Amino acid sequence: MPPNDDIVFTSRATLRVPHLPPPNSHSSFSFCFRNMASQFDQSCHSIFQFIDSVKRGSKLTNFNHSIPHFWPPSLPFWGSKKITQRGNSVSRWASGSCGAMFVDKSSLICSASLSLIQSDGSNKAESGTRAEHSGRQRGMDDKSTGLVGKSSLLCSASLALARSDEGSQPSGSESKESPQKGYSAGRPDEERVLISEVLVRNKDGEELERKDLEMEVLTALKASRPNSALTVREVQEDVHRIINSGYFYSCIPVAVDTRDGIRLIFQVEPNQEFQGLVCEGANVLPAKFLEEAFRDGYGKVVNLRHLDEVISSINSWYGERGLFGRVSAVDILSGGILSLQVSEAEVNNISIRFLDKKTGEPILGNTRPDTILRQLTTKKGQVYSMLQGKRDAETVLTMGIMEDVSIIPQPAADAGKVDLLMNVVERPSGGFSAGGGLSCGTTGGAGPLAALIGSFAYSHRNLFGRNQKLHVSLERGQVDFTFRINYTDPWIEGDDKRTSRTIMVQNSRTPGTLVHGGSNLTIGRVTAGLEFNRPIRPKWSGTGGLYFQRAGARDEQGNPIIMDTIKCPLTASGNADDNMLLAKLESVYTGSGDHGSSMFVLSMEQGLPFLPEWLCFNRVNARARTGVEVGPSQFLLSLSGGHVVGKFCPHEAFAIGGTNSVRGYEEGAVGSGRSYAVGCGEISFPLFAPVEGVLFADYGTDLGSGSTVPGDPAGARMKPGSGYGYGFGIRLDSPLGPLRLEYAFNDKGAKRFHFGVGHRN
């Protein structure tokens, strides 16, 4: 977030100095420098009156006299901020720091230096017009008068002043004048003045009603103590400390000459008591946050230091959320009402610019701008958030049609608003891919094409510029075969829930060994379906679909069969193929998306018997995973389970055992049942980049449901129905995903290597 450099805390600049009726003679002002500005003349006039009053030992009164802001050095406080206080027709303004705000009213502190000369007799002594001229001063017997005459506290510019003392010398007599060196306020050898007493009073010279505020002043004082000798700088620093306490509107040091010596009085004016809050322009800042921030201040004197902390906390609230917002002004209104003005940058316009990948120059894009804009959560009229903009850029990248996305905020024509420019670089929209080879595991008797394995695919990522995807693929292996056409619209036009639609047609042949064994048995499926997916809540998504499937077993020549080698049925209907219409519902929770993050999947499939021969069953399946960091290692626990009710295909039973189930067993060797449960615990730890080690233990069971599967294929093959395995392995990060090589032992004492690509399901 940018700093609040345009906020200025201000106050009216006035100077209050003791005043007595001027003496009859005003000749001393005739010796001021002719080239000095009139502001210096006014300041010198006020200071001379104060000197005269001290020497006469008179009671002092105050009057207001404005001076320019060239004198005391500013004390940095809150940087450049603005606080205004209005009440009882008082409005205060100044610029710079709080030191300069209130110290300007001090009658003892001046920022330049003066050389004072005093002569006795009725004749007027004159001084030269240069700052380096020496003055003359008559010796005095009176201690206090002589002390004040030499005070460096009262020196304020390189000027030479002289006056006559008409009452101290007989007419016509002359006295000896001794030279008196002038002192500058900032010089290390400046003279000190003995202070006999230090008091705290209000602006009217009366005692403060609140003793706690008086203690704040006394606590702030460091140099100003009774019976101490002070310099200009020390008094100035004490005034700064009082103002920096944050409780006072102004502080005016006043010196009074008494019989016991010079009395230093700090006349302070406390801030108003906080009685209410008005906040303007805060559209996204929660009211509860403001209430909590100012709750402890109600009924108390406004402390500017605490107020600055509250303002900083408000600005931090915006900064932590990446919002373009800040407090721009603070007003203290009459009656102690605090007014906050908050500036929030609203989004004015969002535009898309397509760039060439090589040159970076603007080009015409293939994607429709509205297809990109509807992906953004940032909308016109919202307060712009950098964090939200980052998420929007990541969302556009996940569309899969962009190589690079960046969002650049720019000032809008309307004040207080921001325009967003999104630069995007498109990826190639589609293409072909193919690969193939010959398998040495197939005999020539199966035909010339039997040994051919390979794949072919065509994909288009951005149909019609709407991010719609078409994928056509053909894969052929030694045993398996898959032909698939898949069309996906990631966001149906006109839908405000981000619903996606997928149409799928597939013809596949997969090994049937998981349940029924036998190397030559395959399961053929023809599937067509329509599926809809929609986000439900953050990190939650839901899927609903309708599928038609025709499935049956085939031998190695591709002929349909209804019994396996040990006479177990392969279909539920007793026909060559089983037909089913499936309604599917699925809910998915994903954490951060990392492998170690939490995950939960619950799915249900219902067979709809629209025709008598169609299967009717209900299948429920659930998977859960969670991870815990333990130092550099990670502990991962996963559980899965399912159950089927009704009439279903035997080859659709839950197979237990293998690389993604219970390691240490072959695929499906533990059991195949109507129900199942599998648990896994893993501890992974880094070895050397990019290799990590892993220790694991798995357990699986069919919950005694193996015999309820039609034909009991698990019991016929002597599968135990439950078992466990444990072992160790290594994992290597690769462009294809993690490569897993694991060595496992099972509860039967057998050992087995497992190799896999990707994380375990």
pLDDT, tens digit (0-9, with 9 covering 90-100), for 620-677 = 999 999 999 988 899 999 999 999 999 999 999 999 999 999 999 999 999 999 999 9
Q: What is the pLDDT of residues 551-569, one digit of tens each?
A: 999 888 888 999 988 888 9
What is residue 384's DSSP assignment? P
The percent of residues above 90 in pLDDT, for the chain, comes to 54
Q: Which two tokens stand for residue 281?
A: 């322009």
Domain with CATH 2.40.160.50 in the chain: 491-757
E strands in 647-738: 654-656, 671-673, 675-688, 691-701, 722-732
Residue 519 banded pLDDT, cuts 50, 70, 90? low
For the chain, the residue count is 761
- Please tell me the predicted confidence (pLDDT) of residue 631: 86
In terms of Cβ atoms closer than 10 Å to its own Cβ (0-12, 13-18, 19+), residue 562 is middle
For residues 709 and 28, the model is more confident at 709
- State the DSSP string of 282-328: -SSS-HHHHHHHHGGGTTSB--HHHHHHHHHHHHHHHHHTTBSEEEE
φ/ψ of 257, rounded to 5, equals: -85, 115
- When pLDDT is cut at 50, 70 and 90, the band that residue 734 belongs to is confident
Residue the block writes with tokens 């801030």: 271
SS (H, E, C) 328-345: EEEEEECCCEEEEEEEEC
Tell me the pLDDT band of 440, cut-offs 50, 70 and 90: low
| SS3 state of residue 173 | coil
Neighbours of 70 (CB within 10 A): 12
Q: How far apart are CA 699 and CA 720, in angstroms?
A: 13
Instruction: Give exposure, 633-666, as e/b (b: 16+ Cβ within 10 Å).
Output: ebebebebbbbbeebbbbbbbbbbbbbbbbbbbe
* Distance, CA of 61 to CA of 53 (rounded, Å): 10
The CATH label, of 3.30.70.260, 3.40.250.10, 2.40.160.50, 2.40.50.140, for the domain at 491-757 is 2.40.160.50
Could you say which DSSP state residue 383 is in?
B
Tally of CA atoms within 13 A in the half-sphere of 359 that contains its CB: 5
Separation CA 418–CA 420 (nearest Å): 7
* CA gap 528, 460 in Å, rounded: 21
What band does 448 get if pLDDT is binned at 50, 70 and 90?
low
Give the residue from 289, 316, 320 showing the smallest Cα distance to 387: 320
| Lookup result for tokens 């991870």 | 627
State the average pLDDT over residues 352-358.
Answer: 94
Of residues 367, 381, 366, 375, the one with CA closest to residue 407: 375
- Is residue 609 within 8 Å of residue 616, measured between CB atoms? yes
d(CA 383, CA 42): 52
DSSP state of 641: E
What is the pLDDT confidence band of residue 688, given thresholds at 50, 70 and 90?
Answer: confident
In 3D, which of 602, 606, 614, 587 has the Cα closest to residue 645? 606
* C-alpha pair distances (Å), 702 with each of 657, 712, 739: 11, 12, 29
- Asked if residue 665 lies in contact with residue 673, where contact means CB atoms within 8 angstroms, the answer is no
Selection from 620, 611, 528 nearest residue 575 by Cα: 611
In angstroms, rounded to a whole number, what is the distance separating the alpha carbons of residues 677 and 671?
11
Residue 402 has pLDDT above 90, yes or no: yes
Q: What is the pTM of this model?
A: 0.62
Q: Please report the sign of the dihedral spanned by the C-alpha atoms of residue 405, residue 406, residue 411, residue 414.
A: positive
Note the pLDDT of residue 571: 92
Residue 525: per-residue pLDDT: 95
* CA-based torsion, 273, 274, 278, 280: positive or negative: positive
**CATH 3.90.45.10 assigned to 346-426:** no
Cα three-residue angle 309-312-318, rounded to 5 degrees: 150
Write the DSSP string, 479-543. S-EEEEEEEEESS-TT-SS--EEEEEEEEEEEE-HHHH--TT-EEEEEEEEEEEEEEEETTEEEE
- The model's confidence at residue 122, banded by pLDDT at 50, 70 and 90, is very low
Could you tell me which residues are beta bridge partners of residue 476? 454, 481
Residue of 46, 43, 23, 25 lying closest to 33 (CA atoms): 43
The predicted structure's pLDDT at residue 557: 82
Looking at the chain, the domain(s) classified CATH 3.10.20.310 span: 193-270, 273-344, 346-426
Alpha-carbon distances, residue 106 vs 25, 55, 220, 371, 696 (angstroms): 26, 20, 17, 67, 79
**CATH superfamily of this structure's domain 193-270:** membrane protein fhac (3.10.20.310)
Q: CATH class for domain 273-344? A: alpha beta
Residues forming beta bridges with residue 38, ordered by sequence position: none
Q: Look-up: residue for tokens 């466990």?
A: 724
Closest CA to 233 of 109, 68, 77, 75: 109
Tell me the pLDDT tens digit for each residue of 181-203.
Answer: 333 334 445 788 899 999 999 98
Q: For residues 218 and 231, give the distance between their C-alpha atoms in angstroms, rounded to a whole number.
A: 18
Q: Which residue has the tokens 């998420």?
A: 391
For residue 335, pLDDT over 70 is answered with yes
Q: Is the pLDDT of residue 35 over 60?
A: no
Radius of gyration of the chain (CA): 45
